[in-house]
Amino acid sequence: MGIEAGLRAAEGLAADSKRFSAQLLAMRPAVLAHFKAKDDLYPALAAQAVTANDSGAAQLTRIFETNMKVQSAAVRRFFETLEVTAPALLASSFKTVASVIRARFETESRAVFPLVERTAKVLEGR
């Protein structure tokens, strides 16, 4: 199950705290792996922009890297502490976490990945 499908499934179970928690636990490995991979990806993207001699893209990627790292840490913290978070808090925090994850994916699709393609094309053309 993808992360978006996992978020939707959790939202559908919000009224049932046991099944809601179980859904979050079930999607945890995928979320943690995804965000870990993304954290590793951004420095590589910045390095790619430098190699492509695109100082503007390098600068932008570093801004994204800084901001995304903060988001990643917060999302990871949420999923890593599921067992010790009170159910009411879990439900309210999940709404914010889900909105942050979706906003991030949308930003990456709209803004970040096209920038990456730009520098990748420069490198391919060499």
Check binding of 70 to other proteins (CB under 8 A).
yes
- Neighbour tally for 95: CB within 10 Å: 11
Nearer to other proteins, 27 or 104 (CB): 104
CA distances from 10 to 31, 33, 60 (A): 13, 18, 34
Check binding of 121 to other proteins (CB under 8 A).
no
Q: Can you tell me which of 8, 77, 102, 121 binds other proteins, judged by CB under 8 A? A: 77
**Nearest approach, Cβ of 92 to other proteins (angstroms)?**
6
Residues 6+ apart with CB under 8 A from 71: 100, 104
Task: Report angle CA 96, 100, 105 to the nearest 5 degrees.
Answer: 150
- Neighbour tally for 68: CB within 10 Å: 20
| 16/78 Cα distance (integer angstroms) | 19
Check binding of 107 to other proteins (CB under 8 A).
yes
Stretch of 12-20, 24-32, 34-42, 68-76 lying at the interface with other proteins (CB under 8 A): 68-76
Q: Can you tell me which of 67, 86, 105, 121 binds other proteins, judged by CB under 8 A? A: 67
Tokens describing residue 6: 């996992």
Site residues (CB under 8 A) for other proteins?
55-57, 59-60, 63-64, 67, 70, 73-75, 77-78, 92-93, 95-97, 99-100, 103, 107, 110-112, 114-115
